[in-house]
A and B are shown apart, each in its own frame.
Chain A
Amino acid sequence: MGRGPGGGLMTDMVFRRGRLLLWGGCLAAALALPLVFKGGFVISLLCQMGIMVVFALSYNMLLGQTGLLSFGHAVYYGLGAFVSMHVLNLLGKDGGPLAVALLPLAGGLAGLLAGVVLGYVTTKKAGTTFAMISLGIGELVAACALMFPGFFGGEGGVSGNRVVGKDNLLGFTWGPQIEMYWLIVAWAFLATVAMFALTQTPLGRMANAVRDNPERAEFVGYDTQRVRYLMLILSGFFAGIAGGLTALNYEIVTSETLNAHTSGVVLLMTFVGGIGLFYGPVIGAILISVMQIVIGGMTHAWLLYFGLFFLFMVLMAPGGIASVLAMQRTLWQARLLGRMLPHYLATAIPLLVLLAGLVGLVELAYALLAGEGATAGDAASRVLGMDLYLRSPVPWAAALAVSAAGAAGLYWIGGRMKKAWHQTLSTLQGDKA
């Protein structure tokens, strides 16, 4: 890192220009995507992605930045969604497209208020205690959702209509899904900029300090409880904005938005993306949203794949996708990436073979279970686009053979990659010293 004294400012400026390019590029990509992919399916997917990006980033304000593992973050998201929906319905004919566009702010305020009330209890302690209390509060609020159907709408939830009145705002009525997408992009961009800016403030930095070493933070004058509390309130605000967007997007809010499953999904998204870097949750939110909708639409075994993928990430890349990318960037800057690329590509082949074999096994098993008691044994079932007889050993043997071949290849080629990886790492460290 041959950075001389005084070089800090120069690099800061270059860094800032690079950052502006990156932000601009992301915004441009978000705006261009629906022009390239025109299908309604893709637009819905993009909308979901935008909402989840805000939600996951708000979650990482707790997990990555303050070191608070929450099992109940959906509470702030869900309450934001419900309050937004009620405000939308209250507005009725009096509201217009402008009020609708600002509605996520109501969700944000609801999330903020929920943070003020609930966070006061949860942030008294950090660590395991915080995790447990957040779980308890999450269950409490989820239980309330079923106990007070007047506000939460019971099983059916609360629905509304985002097209209010006859006028428009600069031509937008928010009726068509694509218009909703523009609204989501605007809010997601603003919220992301705000959350990034927050990491560059005294509170944001002290949150990192409290995460790293709460005792030391106390002995440099900071009330760690207050730091956690403030971060949770602000995180609740952004989660509430995401909730408001989801209310507008789907025009229905059910109790599922604030239950433990939603809290779990945002945790997994954030973790898979990477909690150590600001943009990690963005990657996680986009990837998991795509997987959820695309793979979830193809197979009933989606949750199983999701679980396995999460397991794989925790074991192989605990820093998330972002940390893997950051590592490649370091290699690239040291001109060492070229050395690793052939190994990556070579390893990808047996990995894909193994994946194909495992998917085959899982799908066969699911088809067998689903068809149990029906005609499973006698007629052909449709698995992965093929008509297969599930009682015949042939498809099973084939899937098993493919898996075994993949595993063997991975063992051999992956071992070589590992070796190359360690060599490259030691070269990298040799350069630095």
Chain B
Amino acid sequence: MSAPAIRLAGLKKSFGASEIIRGVDLDIQPGERHAIIGPNGAGKSTLFHLISARLPVSEGAIELKGENVVGLKPFEINRKGLSRSFQITNIFHNLSVFENLRCAVLWSLGYRYSFWQRLAGLADARLRAEAVMEDIGLARRRDTPAGILSYAEQRALEIGITIASGADVILLDEPTAGMSNNETEEAVALIRRVTEGKTLVMVEHDMGVVFGLADRISVLVYGRIIATDVPAAIRCNAAVQEAYLGTSLNHD
């Protein structure tokens, strides 16, 4: 059996005295669609930040495709084939949709820091960016500055940038947050399409999206995973209902 796409072992993260992630163990298999759910403040986004090296790990190990990646910089992890999106839209605001996507594919195509090649001459970068643009349905917005796109379009672009490099491990942080029902449906179809054959890990609040997309679900409560299982089993897991749905109901 091949190594898990992502393996977390005894992962901990503290901010000062408060421990946000309190020992997470999790194996995510290649090609799996994995959702992480949990009440507000459970540490879902922090977990993502740890995996993608946006925040340094306090304790424990993270393996990406069998390789220890603790201590690497975000761009080093990205070069190893892990790409992520953000909960708050994180795009290049002054660049056009096309330029946003082209920037996202340059490194993976090996152009690095080249200042001796003309961008316009790089057919593979253009074709790849255009293909992604087609995929996320923004082809007609090609030359629009990303900053003036509508919210849903920006979210689609965010996903486009995340998948454009062809990374095989994709982390999506609340991809449908703030969307209408219609937009959510489109976003789910988009995610399903563009993560075909890849490992997907997502944090999501919309239970319809989670149960519709995920092969397995992990429930994170106060920095610990209390259950990891297929959706049907999660739905009738007593501990989950008590811990997660309970607080959620109280919260409402």
A-side residues, CB < 8 A to B, are: 1, 3, 5, 8, 12, 197-198, 200-206, 208-209, 211-213, 215-224, 226-227, 230, 234
Contacts and interface: CB of A to CB of B under 8 A. Distances in A.
10 contacts: A202-B112, A202-B114, A202-B122, A203-B114, A205-B99, A212-B94, A213-B91, A217-B103, A219-B84, A227-B113
B251 interface: no
A202 B140 contact: no
A115 to B, nearest CB: 14
A5 B83 contact: no
A213 B90 contact: yes
B116 A201 contact: yes
Nearest to B115: A203
Contacts of B102: 205
Interface stretch (B19-27, B72-80, B194-202): B72-80
B80 to A, nearest CB: 10
A96 to B, nearest CB: 31
Given A3-B142, A222-B106, 20 more contacts: A1-B143, A5-B140, A12-B120, A201-B115, A202-B114, A202-B122, A203-B114, A205-B95, A205-B103, A208-B99, A209-B95, A212-B94, A213-B90, A216-B86, A219-B78, A220-B104, A220-B106, A220-B165, A221-B75, A221-B165
Which of B75, B90, B111, B144 has its CB near the most chain A CB atoms (within 10 A)?
A: B75
A234 B115 contact: yes
Interface of B: 52, 54, 73-75, 78-79, 83-84, 86, 90-95, 99, 102-104, 106-108, 111-120, 122, 139-140, 142-144, 161, 164-165
Contacts, number: 108
Contacts of A202: 106, 111-115, 117, 119, 122
B104 to A, nearest CB: 5
B95 A203 contact: no
A219 B74 CA distance: 6
B113 A209 contact: no
Nearest to B103: A209
B140 A200 contact: no
A197 B119 contact: no
Nearest to B126: A8
A204 B142 CA distance: 20
Nearest to B102: A205
Contact of A220 (B95, B103, B119, B140): B103
A12 B121 CA distance: 13
B139 A213 contact: no
Q: B interface, by DSSP: helix, strand, loop or mixed?
A: loop
Contacts of A206: 103, 106, 113
A206 B111 CA distance: 11
A219 B52 contact: yes
A230 B113 contact: yes
A208 B74 CA distance: 19
A230 B115 contact: yes
A218 B78 contact: yes
Nearest first, the 7 A-B pairs at minimum CB distance are A221-B107, A212-B92, A203-B115, A218-B74, A202-B111, A221-B78, A209-B103
Contacts of B140: 5
Contact of A209 (B84, B92, B165): B92
Nearest to A3: B143
A221 B119 contact: no
B75 A208 contact: no
B114 A216 contact: no
Contacts of B122: 202
Given A202-B111, A205-B99, A205-B103, A197 B118 contact: yes
Which of B79, B104, B115 has its CB near the most chain A CB atoms (within 10 A)?
A: B115
Which of B92, B111, B112 has its CB near the most chain A CB atoms (within 10 A)?
A: B92
Which of B91, B102, B112 has its CB near the most chain A CB atoms (within 10 A)?
A: B112
Given A202-B113, A208-B94, A8 B142 contact: yes
A224 B74 CA distance: 10
A162 B52 CA distance: 57
B113 to A, nearest CB: 5
A206 to B, nearest CB: 6
Contacts of B144: 1
B73 A223 contact: yes
Nearest to A212: B92
A221 B99 CA distance: 16
Contacts of A211: 94
Contacts of B84: 219
